[in-house]
Structure 1
Amino acid sequence: MAYLHLITGGARSGKSRYAQQLALGWCSNPVYVATARVWDDEFAERVARHQLDRGPEWTVFEEMRLVSQLPIAGQTAVIDCATLWLTNFFSDTNSNVAKSLDLFKQEIDALLNIPGRFIIVTNEIGMGVHAETAIGRAFTDLQGWANQYVASRADAVTLMVSGLPLVVKAPIP
């Protein structure tokens, strides 16, 4: 049976660091699933910084869409992050919110049919300034609906604020 922990928060709130600490507390050789597509040089630098945060004990997979098809059964895996995962679906579907959300939900449902402990990192992008463009607002809506879906399926949800974890949904003992 799958256990799912969602970690959400704003940019630079400590989400990834907390997720990695949590995973290392559960096992000595966790999996890291990177969902990012490297769009430009600045983003490549961000990816490199994240890579430096992890030691040799991590098994790393890079998968932009079909995370549920990775060999992660029985593993503790950090999936970082849902926002970039959604961006890939959004880009592939020509910004179709409904289709992107459906593809994402299918992946979450498939993931929950795999035994293991999964930590999904996501962003609360709707807590800031409203996007200036229609496509930006559409993606913000998509992210919000996707986060709600994952949170509804998660055993635990943690909101990161200024590096501090706040329990939003505690696992049932």
Structure 2
Amino acid sequence: MIIFITGGARSGKSKYAQELALSLSNSPVYVATAKVWDDDFEKRVKRHQDDRDERWTNMEEQRNVSALPIVNRVCIIDCVTLWLTNFFVDTKNDVDASLSLLKKEIDALCTKPGTFIIISNEIGMGVHADTEIGRKFTDLQGWANQYIAAYAHTAVLMVSGIAVKIK
């Protein structure tokens, strides 16, 4: 089962996902897809890590999330934006190739038993990107979100800390 949680920056996505995961399991899994690019981002990662206690199993995987030992687990995958970034960099900003790689991962997750809470961002709801690469990534993110939401059993939009069920 896929539960898709999306929203803007600081909308409460991670907090909501963590509370949901703990309501479903006493020992959930947290999969971080981020690559730490700089000191500021490292601080953000640390803040997220500090939000989780000993009940959590923490895993890091930048690309092949479906290959992790997450079968029959309640698992948060955080987040699609950073996961896509890894594919986007690997493919030298090829939108089609990046989307294909993500779809392959989502398709593989859909074949596995478990509850997968997938967090994403609605980056297309903000300011229009002023660079070509930014616009390409915004399009990629939008198409990826649509793909995941189509497979999700539940989809939630976080707005100002409030969960709005959209599916």
> Is this a same-fold pair by TM over 0.5?
yes
SS at match of 1:17: helix
Q: Which aligned runs of 4 or more in structure 1 are off by greater than 4 angstroms? A: none
CA distance in 2, matches of 1:111, 1:91: 22
Q: Report whether the alignment pairs 1:165 with 2:126.
A: no
> Normalising by structure 1, what TM-score?
0.96
Q: By how many angstroms is 1:31 displaced? A: 0.2
- How many correspondences in the alignment? 167
Q: By how many angstroms is 1:164 displaced? A: 0.3
Q: Report whether the alignment pairs 1:94 with 2:92.
A: yes
CA distance in 1, matches of 2:2, 2:126: 26
Deviations along 1:87-139, one digit per CA (max 9) or x if unpaired, are 00000000000000000000000011110000000000000001110000000
CA distance in 1, matches of 2:52, 2:110: 25
CA distance in 1, matches of 2:7, 2:79: 12
Q: Which residue of 54, 57, 62 maps to 2:55?
A: 57
Tell me, which stretches of 5 or more residues in structure 2 are unaligned?
none
Match of 1:21 in 2: 19
CA distance in 2, matches of 1:165, 1:111: 24
Q: Which residue of 76, 79, 83 maps to 2:77?
A: 79
Q: CA RMSD in A?
A: 0.3
Q: Percent identity?
A: 63
CA distance in 2, matches of 1:56, 1:92: 34
Q: By how many angstroms is 1:55 displaced? A: 0.5
Residue type of the alignment partner of 1:65: R
CA distance in 2, matches of 1:30, 1:89: 26
CA distance in 2, matches of 1:53, 1:164: 19
Q: What does 1:2-21 align with in structure 2 at a 5 Å threshold?
A: 3-21=1-19
Q: By how many angstroms is 1:42 displaced? A: 0.3
Match of 1:118 in 2: 116
Tell me, which stretches of 5 or more residues in structure 1 are unaligned?
none
